Homo-oligomer: A and B are copies of this chain.
Amino acid sequence: MEILGGPLFGVAGAGESHGPAVTTIVFGMPPGLFVRAADIQRHLDRRRPGSNRHGTPRREDDTVVLLSGLYQEDVDALTAGPAVQVIAGEQLSATTGYAEGYTTGEPIAAIVLSTAKRSADYTQFAGPAGEVRPGHTDLVKHYKSQGFVDPRGGGRSSYRSTISDVIGGSLARLFLAETFGTVILSSICQVGELKAQRTLARHVEELAGAAGRLDPAAIATLEAELASAEIHSIDADFAAAAGDLIKATRIEGDSLGAAVEVVAVNVPPLAGDPLYQSLKLRIMGSLGGLNAVQGVEIGAGFEVVARRGSENNDPLRRSGYQANSHGGLIGGITTGMPLVFRVGFKPTSTITRPQQSVRKNLEEIEFQLRKGRHDPCVGVRAGVTLESRVAIDLLNAVLMHAASHVAPDAFRLFE
Contact = CB atoms under 8 A, between A and B. Distances in A.
Interface string A287-323: 1111101111111111011111111111111111010
Interface stretch (A43-51, A145-153, A200-208, A214-222): A145-153
Contacts of A28: 1
A315 B86 contact: no
A113 B94 contact: yes
A243 to B, nearest CB: 17
A412 B281 contact: no
Given A276-B3, A281-B286, A402-B406, A269 B362 contact: no
Given A23-B111, A95-B113, A295 B297 contact: yes
Contacts of A290: 281
A54 interface: no
Contacts of A30: 403-406
Contacts of A281: 285-286, 288-290
A313 B414 contact: no
A209 to B, nearest CB: 12
Interface string A323-343: 001110011111110000000
Given A106-B156, A408-B179, A12 B12 contact: yes
A88 B85 CA distance: 12
B115 A95 contact: yes
B413 A404 contact: no
Interface residues of A, number: 193
Contact of A285 (B10, B289, B414): B289
Contacts of A107: 2, 12-15, 156
Contacts of A403: 8, 30, 399-400, 402-403
A275 B13 contact: yes
Contacts of A268: 408, 411
Given A93-B63, A119-B75, A254-B309, A302 B344 contact: yes
Given A87-B82, A345-B305, A346-B304, A21 B73 contact: no
